[in-house]
Amino acid sequence: MRHGIADPPGGGADKARQLTAEGIEALRAAVPIWRRLNLRPDVVISSPLSRAVETARVLGDGLGLDREAVASDRLRPGASWDDLGRAMAEHSDARRVLFVGHEPDLSTAVARLTGAASVRMREGGMACVEFYGVPEPGGGELAWLLDPDLYSRDR
């Protein structure tokens, strides 16, 4: 999942950028869709940046998850699939992992894992990649891709 709509870059530190009121509203509007998809992550691993942590919190609250998201430096902007894979390996008991991160990192990881030529993850968008074995490049299948237009009135 890509973090929700955040303050524009510039002026302050990138790590301090937070979700806008519009971004929070759009994520909350997505909760019924997330519930219909029966999202049940065993663990949510988030970038430690404010906008990703906030997104993970809205997701967790909306789904009624028992555990809070785990912030991992491995998901900072510029993360590769190798970084995501290492973060996932720290939770080896988890079969369903939900990452909350940044672009172009997530689109690149989804494309690499599925063999797609390209994938576009907009703010608040989410992709589901399924594996029938060990998660590795080219071994995944894109089960679905949620574009925020599905739940945002203003886009």
Query: What is the tens place of the pLDDT at every residue in 71-121?
Result: 999 999 999 999 999 999 999 999 999 999 999 999 999 999 999 999 999
- Domain assignment present for 110: yes
- Domain assignment present for 134: yes
- Domain assignment present for 1: no
CATH number at residue 108: 3.40.50.1240
- Domain assignment present for 119: yes
- Domain assignment present for 19: yes
**Whole domain around residue 21: which residue ranges?**
14-150
Query: What is the tens place of the pLDDT at every residue in 3-48?
Result: 999 988 876 677 778 999 999 999 999 999 999 999 999 999 999 9
pTM (2 decimals)?
A: 0.94
- Domain assignment present for 53: yes
φ/ψ (deg, to 5) at 64: 65, 40
Q: How far is CA 91 from CA 19, 88, 99, 111, 133, in A?
A: 27, 5, 12, 23, 16
Domain count, the chain: 1
- Domain assignment present for 108: yes
- Domain assignment present for 3: no
